[in-house]
Amino acid sequence: MLRIKNAVKLTDLLFYESANSQGKAIANLSSFGTATSSDTDYIQLSKISAGFKLTGKVAMSWEDERLSQSNLAYQIKVGNSPKTTSVPEPSTLAAIALATFAGVGYKRRKSA
């Protein structure tokens, strides 16, 4: 049985999109680790066009010696994610190629 050595809990998380908005509740997070394992949780927020505020409570706990070197931590990272581009299905590409070859063949046959 693995014994929990440390834990980080983020609770009562509220996301405010602008100064005048009401807070929108988002999921609570709990991460636990042992001497040989770790746990990572993510919340992704998107389509944010202006400033925002994130509020909540954090609780950190550990057993034995106090931890160091980010063995018990949480981070908030802000940045832009690259926009995804849709890639056509192989069958769509095959249909386009077939239509192109058929058109070229028809044009050659008609001009001959």
55 or 85, higher pLDDT: 55
Half-sphere exposure for 80 (CA within 13 Å, toward CB): 5
Distance between CA 11 and CA 3 in Å, rounded? Answer: 23
- pLDDT-based confidence at residue 36 (cuts at 50, 70, 90): low
pLDDT for res 102: 85
Q: What proportions of the chain, in percent to the nearest 5, are helix, strand and coil?
A: 20, 25, 55
82 or 54, higher pLDDT: 54
